């Protein structure tokens, strides 16, 4: 019906304004930056150039615009619909893609995250290569190297203990110090420091007599033996001396050795430096920690008390106990298999009465030296978070605490009294205060720190089997700071260390100005 009606040519995709343009001209003035309504064909001046199209090909389409939703990021402009998503963006309608306007905004690439340059915690740790405990001679023959990682599977079920002798005297435990706290600390003056060292095995007349009469073929002390048992937990270098004559073996320390001293923060994650001019370095802290342990034993003893354990202790050329308190000793025998029996001299620090029965105590002290304001101090946590404080000390002193537990288990000690002793002033390493005292059962403490006595005896058995096949003489067993950690055994000339002088209390060197 409308075939004869003239009208301007148009496209199906043109808007209504173009279809009503009878003149074929553009509307008004073109605005800069905007596209006007233009058809897909050029404008014409005649109305007779119309070409009929088949309506059967017409398809209804939805001309609603679709947009691609993008997440808003800082610095990104938000679009407002089909008109204007940003400058310079073309409308898809100009491409005649079926009548549907699609504005597909190209999503900018995700910003590349900067690499985290912060080092890992383990890389932040101060790793120290400590000096060897003894200077090695190139002429010494190295017999073997035992990797400490390989000793983790060693296991020996020892038979015992059997108490073969007791001697000396132990003081009564002073329970008055149990009331110590951060608000009412008990002072530990510097005058209580003692120069006494536990006698060596070769200086113990009782121990050498037991070796001579065949009671055992191996003798040693608890401090030396436990250092070997817990060598896998150690960080600081140490060394032992082994004397072999026939099937008899003496495991001992050198005269100048410091391996029997109490260390401080040996296994702390941050490490401790070896600066000889600092009071907070390994040399000074080791002597201070051992002196703190001795001070705590002094204030833990009731003055003037002495509980006898057999006859008097007899040592060759050294005092049997510190000058301020007596000391008792118990000789324990163990059978470790393969025709090997060992007698260990164990120390008893104090005794007490519990339900009418005598209870033996091992008295030890933990040591705090870092009193900086940012440090996690005992004075603020010892009362309310004692368990957390003790767990931290086990982590920082894993080797020392394991040795204490092993000494108590070997000696058949009933209970342990552990004191928390801290510096009174951060800059004074000689004056300390007792902040708290706790009690522990040795077997429970050993289980808490995962100390396996069968594995400890397996380590001892491995060393004994190595030296039993060697010739008679003197041998040096060292644990240095090399990686991987290992025990190295050397054959040394007889009397190599006879001229050594005993180690004395270390005083930091003051640098010259």
Q: Do the Cβ atoms of 133 and 238 come closer than 8 Å?
A: yes
Q: What gap in Å lies between CA 405 and CA 335, rounded to an integer?
A: 20
Q: In the structure encoding, which two tokens stand for residue 294, read together?
A: 């001795």
Strand blocks (E) in 210-356 = 218-221, 238-245, 248-252, 307-308, 328-337, 340-348, 350-354
Could you tell me the strand order of the sheet in which 141-147 lies?
141-147, 486-492, 473-479, 238-245, 248-252, 218-221, 340-348, 328-337, 159-170, 307-308
Residue 395 above 70 pLDDT? yes
Q: Count the Cβ atoms, other than its own, within 10 Å of residue 420.
A: 25
**Helices 222-229 and 453-468: angle between axes, nearest 10 degrees:** 100
Q: What is the pLDDT of residue 440?
A: 95
Residue 47 above 90 pLDDT? no
Q: What is the pLDDT of residue 506?
A: 72
User: In the chain, what percentage of residues exceed pLDDT 70?
Assistant: 73
- State the average pLDDT over residues 166-171: 95
Sign of CA dihedral 171, 174, 178, 181: negative
- Peptide bond preceding 484 in cis form (omega within 30 of 0): yes
69: left (phi over 0), alpha (psi -120 to 50) or beta: beta
Least confident of 88-92, 309-313, 319-323: 88-92
Identify which of 271, 315, 282, 9 has the alpha carbon closest to the alpha carbon of residue 125: 271
Q: What gap in Å lies between CA 224 and CA 250, rounded to an integer?
A: 11
Q: Count the Cβ atoms, other than its own, within 10 Å of residue 219.
A: 30
Q: Which of the 8 DSSP states describes residue 311?
A: B
Q: Is 12 helix (H, G, I), strand (E, B) or coil?
A: coil
pLDDT class for 68, splitting at 50, 70, 90? low
Residue 207 above 70 pLDDT? yes
Half-sphere exposure at residue 44, Cβ-oriented, CA atoms within 13 angstroms: 12
To which H or E segment does residue 16 belong? helix 16-19
Q: Count the Cβ atoms, other than its own, within 10 Å of residue 226.
A: 26
- φ, ψ of residue 229 to 5 degrees: the values are -65, -35
Q: Is 239 helix (H, G, I), strand (E, B) or coil?
A: strand
CA distances from 355 to 172, 272, 293, 359, 438 (A): 15, 45, 28, 10, 20
Identify which of 287, 279, 282, 281 has the alpha carbon closest to the alpha carbon of residue 260: 287
Q: Count the Cβ atoms, other than its own, within 10 Å of residue 502.
A: 11
Q: Do the Cβ atoms of 170 and 301 come closer than 8 Å?
A: no
Q: Do the Cβ atoms of 322 and 168 come closer than 8 Å?
A: no
The predicted-structure confidence for 480-510, as pLDDT tens digits, reads as follows: 887 788 999 999 998 888 888 888 777 776 5
- φ, ψ of residue 486 to 5 degrees: the values are -155, 160
Q: Is 438 helix (H, G, I), strand (E, B) or coil?
A: strand
Most confident of 11-25, 116-130, 229-243, 496-510: 229-243
Count of residues making up the chain: 513
pLDDT class for 51, splitting at 50, 70, 90? low
Residue 27 above 50 pLDDT? no
Q: What is the pLDDT of residue 443?
A: 96
pLDDT class for 192, splitting at 50, 70, 90? confident
- Peptide bond preceding 474 in cis form (omega within 30 of 0): no
Higher pLDDT: 62 or 486? It is 486
Summary mean pLDDT of the chain: 81
96: left (phi over 0), alpha (psi -120 to 50) or beta: left
Within 8 A by CB and 6+ apart from 161, the residues are 332, 333, 334, 410, 412
- φ, ψ of residue 87 to 5 degrees: the values are -70, 140
Residue 54 above 60 pLDDT? yes
pLDDT class for 405, splitting at 50, 70, 90? very high
The predicted-structure confidence for 296-319, as pLDDT tens digits, reads as follows: 999 999 998 999 998 899 898 888
Q: In the structure encoding, which two tokens stand for residue 466, read together?
A: 């190595």
Q: Please work out, in degrees rounded to the nearest 5, the angle formed at the alpha carbon of residue 399 by the alpha carbons of 441 and 392.
A: 70
Q: What is the pLDDT of residue 301?
A: 94
Q: What is the pLDDT of residue 82?
A: 41
Q: What gap in Å lies between CA 177 and CA 299, rounded to an integer?
A: 8
To which H or E segment does residue 313 belong? none
Q: What is the pLDDT of residue 56?
A: 63
Q: What is the pLDDT of residue 463?
A: 94
Q: What gap in Å lies between CA 305 and CA 173, rounded to an integer?
A: 9
Q: What is the pLDDT of residue 317?
A: 81
Least confident of 31-40, 275-284, 438-447: 31-40
The predicted-structure confidence for 431-455, as pLDDT tens digits, reads as follows: 999 999 999 999 999 999 999 999 9
The predicted-structure confidence for 143-164, as pLDDT tens digits, reads as follows: 999 998 888 889 999 998 999 9
Higher pLDDT: 420 or 376? It is 420
Residue 121 above 60 pLDDT? no
pLDDT class for 355, splitting at 50, 70, 90? confident
Q: What gap in Å lies between CA 143 and CA 488, rounded to an integer?
A: 8
């Amino acid at each position: 019906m409308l075939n004869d009606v003239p009208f301007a040519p148009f496209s199906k995709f043109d808007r209504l304004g173009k279809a009503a343009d009878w003149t074929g001209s553009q509307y008004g003035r073109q605005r800069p930056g905007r596209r006007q309504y233009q058809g897909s064909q050029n404008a014409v001046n005649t109305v007779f150039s119309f070409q009929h199209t088949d309506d059967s090909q017409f398809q209804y389409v939805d001309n609603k615009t679709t947009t691609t939703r993008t997440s808003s990021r800082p610095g990104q402009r938000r679009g407002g619909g089909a008109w204007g998503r940003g400058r310079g963006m073309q409308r898809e309608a100009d491409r005649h893609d079926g009548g549907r306007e699609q504005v597909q905004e190209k999503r900018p690439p995700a910003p590349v995250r900067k690499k985290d340059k912060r080092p890992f915690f383990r890389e932040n740790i101060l790793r120290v290569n400590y000096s060897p405990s003894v200077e090695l001679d190139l002429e010494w023959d190295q017999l073997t190297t035992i990797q400490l990682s390989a000793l983790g599977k060693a296991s020996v079920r020892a038979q015992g203990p059997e108490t073969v002798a007791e001697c000396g005297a132990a003081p009564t435990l002073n329970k008055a110090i149990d009331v110590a706290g951060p608000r009412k600390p008990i002072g530990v003056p510097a005058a209580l420091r003692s120069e006494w060292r536990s006698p060596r095995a070769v200086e113990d007349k009782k121990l050498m007599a037991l070796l001579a009469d065949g009671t055992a073929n191996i003798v040693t002390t608890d401090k030396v033996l436990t250092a070997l048992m817990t060598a896998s937990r150690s960080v600081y270098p140490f060394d032992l001396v082994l004397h072999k004559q026939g099937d008899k073996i003496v495991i001992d320390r050198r005269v100048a050795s410091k391996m029997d001293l109490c260390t401080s923060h040996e296994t702390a994650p941050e490490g401790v430096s070896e600066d000889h001019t600092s009071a907070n370095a390994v040399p000074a802290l080791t002597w201070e920690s051992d002196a703190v342990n001795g001070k705590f034993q002094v204030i833990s003893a009731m003055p003037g008390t002495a509980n006898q354990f057999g006859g008097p202790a007899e040592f060759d050329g050294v005092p049997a106990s510190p000058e301020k308190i007596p000391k008792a000793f118990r000789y324990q025998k163990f059978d470790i298999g393969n025709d090997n029996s060992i007698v260990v001299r164990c120390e008893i620090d104090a005794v007490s009465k519990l339900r009418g029965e005598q209870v033996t105590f091992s008295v030890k002290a933990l040591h705090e030296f870092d009193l900086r304001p940012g440090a996690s101090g005992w004075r603020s946590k010892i009362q309310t978070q004692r368990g957390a404080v003790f767990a931290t000390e086990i982590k920082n002193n894993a080797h020392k605490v394991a040795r204490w537990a092993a000494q108590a288990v070997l000696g058949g000690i009933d209970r342990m009294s552990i004191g928390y002793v801290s510096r009174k002033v951060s800059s004074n390493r000689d004056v300390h205060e007792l902040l708290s005292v706790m009690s522990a059962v040795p077997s429970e403490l050993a289980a808490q720190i995962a100390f396996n006595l069968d594995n400890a005896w397996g380590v001892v058995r491995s060393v004994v089997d190595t030296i039993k096949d060697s010739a008679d003489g003197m041998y040096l067993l060292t644990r240095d700071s090399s990686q991987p950690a290992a025990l190295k055994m050397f054959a040394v000339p007889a009397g190599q260390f006879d001229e050594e002088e005993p180690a004395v209390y270390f005083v930091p060197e003051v640098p010259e100005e």
